[in-house]
Amino acid sequence: MSKTNLTRRGVLKTGAVAGAGLALPTYLSAAGHEGFTNAPTGDTVTLGFNVPQTGPYADEGADELRAYELAVEHLNGGGDGGMLNTFSSKALQGNGILGKKVEYVTGDTQTKSDAARASAKSMIEKDGAVMITGGSSSGVAVAVQALCQEAGVIFMAGLTHSNDTTGKDKKANGFRHFFNSYMTGAALAPVLANNYGTDRKAYHLTADYNWGYTTEEAVRTSTEALGWETVGTVLTPLTQTDFSSYITPVLQSDADVLVLNHYGGNMVNSLTNAVQFGLRDRVANGKNFEIVVPLYSRLMAKGAGANVKGIFGSTNWHWSLQDEGSKAFVQSFGTKYGFPPSQAAHTCYVQAILYADAVERAGSFNPCAVGEALKDFEFDGMGNGPTLYRGEDHQCFKDVLVVKGKENPTSEFDLLEIVEITPVEQVTYDASIFGGDLGSCNPGA
């Protein structure tokens, strides 16, 4: 015998659950009027700038946001046009993207993966952003890239240096202009060997998270291939502020080089502590002791003050480059804001322009069409010489800068000097070495 228990409360409950269930995946079909997520319907198009506005990388995020605002101004025909004047592709006309005026919304990643995903999701679902870009951390980039893949929008990564972003975690909807750990190792090792010799013993202090591991591996592999020996590798907690306990064992080791695989506040503190403990003045194995910082950021180098002097590292771009694209960008940014742009600002500006250009060339905002336009796209005039957006992993291949802390800076921005522009051939690798699978492009709706 069966009994039907149909009550008003039961109906309401069932209805509420069913409604919530149906509403849950709305972003997968949100505004999919033209067969893809957030297809622009009016005379404007909205881009989502997801940058750290709070937290330890807030200053870097602020510079990213300045660059995006400048890019939007140039795309809409304002200002002096910046890199649009030097960019090899002439698809963009300064009348927005496909004739639609560019508008933007911003999100705060807080340099936390969950917060970054939440802000990206909000910009896609509530604000109708057709593309998400920005960020200052590999953890955030990988997390937001995965979200954009699910949501069916393009993700143009900001500052992310881990191999994984376009390696094992690569996605069809994600694209990175910034260089990576492998490229740092390949560019930096020969310069180190030339300056310090091939008979060196290195001790690595490495931040205990994904970016630290890939950077240590890249620098270790590249330097060992040139004859260096690695005598110690120690992981340091990401939350560490005083590195004295990690620096002092270096004194007892057989090392004559200390490699600091640290970024941001970690880098500032570990480098400061290493210099305090006299490592720059030390002689070990009959050689001057040396310190290496694989990834430099000018904004962070400022925090370490005079301690960066003479220390080698690598960077994606620097405002002192003299190519026409860099000069145009520095002129444009410097005139608007009163100081030179950082490498984070540069990569974000370029990513916004590259996205807009790809849409123009594709003739559509459909992420799959845009992705096709970006794949194997070769361009120049954006600050790093001829560049390829490789189709196999959506990683840009271009020259890499090896830099050194400047001995006699003339201003607070003049902290690094370019030692070598490593040609792209030297930093190119087989896309299969890091594994991963791009999968298929997802247009969303």
**Interface with another protein (CB under 8 A), residue from 32, 79, 265, 385:** 265
* Minimal distance, residue 238 CB to another protein, in Å: 10
Q: Should residue 81 be labelled a site residue for another protein when binding is judged by CB under 8 A? A: no
**Interface with another protein (CB under 8 A), residue from 320, 324, 337, 385:** 320
Q: Should residue 67 be labelled a site residue for another protein when binding is judged by CB under 8 A? A: no
**Interface with another protein (CB under 8 A), residue from 413, 417, 421, 428:** 413
100 or 220, CB closer to another protein?
Answer: 220
* Minimal distance, residue 380 CB to another protein, in Å: 23
Binding track over 216-255 against another protein, x by CB under 8 A: ----------------x-xx-x-x-xx-xxx-xx-xx---
Using CB under 8 A, which of the segments 9-17, 76-84, 328-336, 381-389 binds another protein? 328-336
Q: With beta carbons less than 8 A apart as the criterion, state whether 176 and 166 touch.
A: yes
Using CB under 8 A, which of the segments 89-97, 147-155, 304-312, 401-409 binds another protein? 304-312
**Interface with another protein (CB under 8 A), residue from 126, 306, 310, 363:** 306
* Minimal distance, residue 315 CB to another protein, in Å: 16
113 or 136, CB closer to another protein?
Answer: 136
* Minimal distance, residue 80 CB to another protein, in Å: 12
**Interface with another protein (CB under 8 A), residue from 28, 34, 56, 122:** 56
* Minimal distance, residue 64 CB to another protein, in Å: 13
At 415, give phi and psi (nearest 5°): -100, -25
- Within residues 277-296, the interface with another protein by CB under 8 A covers 277-278, 281-284
Using CB under 8 A, which of the segments 20-28, 172-180, 268-276, 363-371 binds another protein? 268-276
Nearest to 164 by CA among 365, 394, 408: 394
130 or 268, CB closer to another protein?
Answer: 268
Using CB under 8 A, which of the segments 5-13, 23-31, 301-309, 346-354 binds another protein? 301-309
* Minimal distance, residue 286 CB to another protein, in Å: 12
162 or 307, CB closer to another protein?
Answer: 307
By CB under 8 A, the count of residues binding another protein is: 52
Handedness of CA 186, 191, 196, 198 (dihedral sign): positive
What is the Cα–Cα distance from 115 to 107, expressed in whole angstroms?
9
Interface ranges with another protein (CB under 8 A): 54-59, 232, 234-235, 237, 239, 241-242, 244-246, 248-249, 251-252, 265, 268-269, 272-273, 276-278, 281-284, 299-300, 302-307, 319-320, 330-331, 334-335, 339-340, 410-411, 413-414
